């Protein structure tokens, strides 16, 4: 049986498949497979747009009857609990059988259940003929409210990508301080704030900064937004996110893009860069090393893709 503490389950659309795998590599040091990942790394599933559940393993067994005995030995006494069956890839257990198992779990726990507002959710699942019992933490969908943010640009990245960029840049670590180096209307900052990350933003475009501040205030988030060229920022960050200008609302060319990347490299040793163009040459010219990469297609527009580079500062770089 796998010697792991957690089981993570994933869900994503086909066009986000490579982004999900990139995020998984950066958070867990390995890719999810078949929408599933066993890991000893504990993260809040709500920091990712793709992680739907975190199953914290309490007990496991090769047989269901033995698992039930193990659960009873845990001698759990708690009110307000709920029991759920988590269906994983390859599990053919029928619906009626699952309900019977949940009844068994309920009888094995001392306390009054609460099916509607549980204080804790216990769960069982089966994967490759191994039975697991544990605590289920679900993805919180409160961030969906950002779909109705007051201000937006037509070129703004979507919420899924923004949320994933935060997870990738931070490696899932909420203690890391982040910079959104070209914050636009604050889409990345909104997703960082709701997940409890420390983030600041800057943009040379005054209108973009005003929009970002308005969006943050709309949801009662507090974060610094600097209307400034990134080269004038003198604070250090654990990681920076750069969604390079699209030459629509803010003029851009290779020289400007290179200046932004080089300036960010002075503020952080870890940088995640997003661009609709192939800027690999510019990245290398800036003294950064590309450690990971993926492309994300825009749903319904096969010819429109965003490239995402995870970069680290070369040890010899200044």
CA geometry: angle at 15 spanning 249 and 9, to 5°? Answer: 120
Say yes or no: 152 and 121 in one domain: no
Write out the residue range of the structural domain in which residue 223 sits. Answer: 144-313
Q: 177 pLDDT band (50/70/90 cuts)?
A: very high
pLDDT of residue 317: 44
pLDDT range class, residue 153, cuts 50, 70, 90? confident
Instruction: Give a yes or no: residue 158 inside a domain.
Output: yes
Question: Which residues have CB under 8 Å from 107's CB, separation 6+?
Answer: none
Q: Looking at the domain assignment, is residue 121 inside a domain?
A: yes
Assign 19 a pLDDT band (cuts: 50, 70, 90): very high
Whether 22 and 94 map to the same domain: the answer is: yes
In a domain, 1, yes or no: no
The reply to whether 132 and 172 lie within a common domain is no
CB of 150 closer than 8 Å to CB of 218: yes
Tokens of 129: 């003929």
Mark which of 109, 138, 167 sits at the end of a domain: 138
CATH number at residue 76: 3.30.2130.30
pTM of the model: 0.93
Measure the CA–CA gap between 309 and 251, rounded to whole angstroms. 22
Do 171 and 270 belong to one domain? yes
Q: Is residue 318 part of a domain?
A: no
Report the number of distinct structural domains present in the chain. Answer: 2
In a domain, 84, yes or no: yes
Predicted local confidence at residue 303, as pLDDT: 64
CA distance 79 to 233: 52
Lowest mean pLDDT among 96-100, 176-180, 250-254: 250-254
- The token pair at 284 is 């290398």
Distances (CA, A) of 265 to 23, 162, 230, 231: 21, 20, 10, 10
Per-residue confidence (pLDDT) for residue 154, from 0 to 100: 80
Answer yes or no: is pLDDT of 299 > 60. yes
Using DSSP's 3-state secondary structure scheme, residue 178 falls into: strand
Residues 48-92 have pLDDT tens digits of 999 999 999 999 999 999 999 999 999 999 999 999 999 999 999
User: Does residue 1 have a pLDDT over 80?
Assistant: no
Q: What is the pLDDT of residues 220-276, one digit of tens each?
A: 999 999 999 999 999 999 999 999 986 544 556 889 999 999 999 999 999 999 999
Q: Which of 138, 168, 199 is the last residue of a domain?
A: 138
Residues 228 and 124 in one domain: no
> 155 pLDDT band (50/70/90 cuts)?
confident
Distance, in Å, from the CA atom of 189 to the CA atom of 315, rounded to the nearest integer, reads 29
Strands 120-127 and 81-85, bridge-based pairing:
parallel
Domain boundary among 113, 138, 163: 138
CATH code (residue 277): 3.40.50.150
Is 307 among the domain residues? yes
Please tell me whether residues 132 and 150 are part of one structural domain.
Answer: no
Q: Are residues 209 and 292 in the same domain?
A: yes
């Amino acid at each position: 049986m796998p010697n792991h503490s957690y089981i993570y389950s994933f869900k994503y659309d086909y066009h986000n498949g490579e982004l999900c795998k990139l995020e998984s590599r950066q958070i867990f040091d390995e890719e999810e497979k078949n929408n599933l990942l066993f890991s000893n790394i504990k993260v809040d599933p709500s920091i990712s747009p793709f992680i739907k559940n975190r199953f914290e393993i309490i007990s496991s067994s090769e047989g269901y009857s033995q698992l039930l005995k193990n659960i009873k030995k845990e001698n759990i006494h708690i009110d307000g609990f709920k029991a759920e069956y988590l269906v994983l890839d390859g599990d053919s257990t029928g619906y009626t059988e699952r309900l019977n198992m949940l009844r068994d779990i309920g009888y094995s726990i001392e306390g009054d259940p609460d099916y509607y507002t549980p204080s804790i959710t216990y769960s069982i699942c089966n994967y490759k003929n191994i039975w697991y019992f544990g605590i289920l933490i679900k993805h919180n969908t409160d961030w969906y409210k950002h779909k109705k943010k007051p201000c937006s640009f037509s070129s703004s990245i979507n919420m899924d990508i923004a949320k994933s960029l935060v997870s990738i840049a931070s490696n899932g670590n909420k203690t890391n301080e982040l910079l959104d180096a070209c914050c636009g209307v604050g889409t990345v900052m909104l997703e960082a704030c709701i997940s409890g990350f420390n983030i600041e933003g800057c943009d040379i475009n005054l209108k973009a900064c005003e929009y970002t501040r308005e969006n943050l205030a709309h949801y009662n988030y507090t974060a610094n937004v600097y209307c400034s060229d990134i080269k004038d920022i003198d604070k250090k960050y654990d990681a920076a996110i750069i969604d390079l200008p699209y030459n629509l609302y803010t003029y851009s060319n290779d020289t400007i893009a290179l200046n932004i990347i080089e300036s960010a490299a002075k503020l952080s040793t870890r940088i995640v860069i997003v661009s609709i163009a192939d800027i690999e040459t510019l990245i290398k010219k800036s003294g950064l090393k590309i450690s990971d990469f993926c492309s994300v297609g825009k749903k319904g527009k096969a010819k429109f893709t965003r490239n995402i580079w995870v970069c680290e500062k070369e040890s010899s770089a200044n």
